[in-house]
Amino acid sequence: MSSSCIEEVSVPDDNWYRIANELLSRAGIAINGSAPADIRVKNPDFFKRVLQEG
């Protein structure tokens, strides 16, 4: 799947996004970044679910 098929999630004002982004950035991982270790997120509810449910 090419990166052009993935829509970026634009929710920087969301607290769940902010918390996830802070934690991931400490590990050198970017949300929707271009590096192999970066994660691609299509659903903005992903951050809340992962942080609450693991």
pLDDT-based confidence at residue 40 (cuts at 50, 70, 90): very high
- Note down the domain range covering 41: 3-53
Domain total in the chain: 1
Would you say the pTM of this structure is higher than 0.95?
no
Torsion of CA 39, 40, 42, 45, to 10 degrees: 10
18-36 mean pLDDT: 96
Burial category of 27 from C-beta neighbours within 10 Å (exposed 0-12, middle 13-18, buried 19 and up): exposed
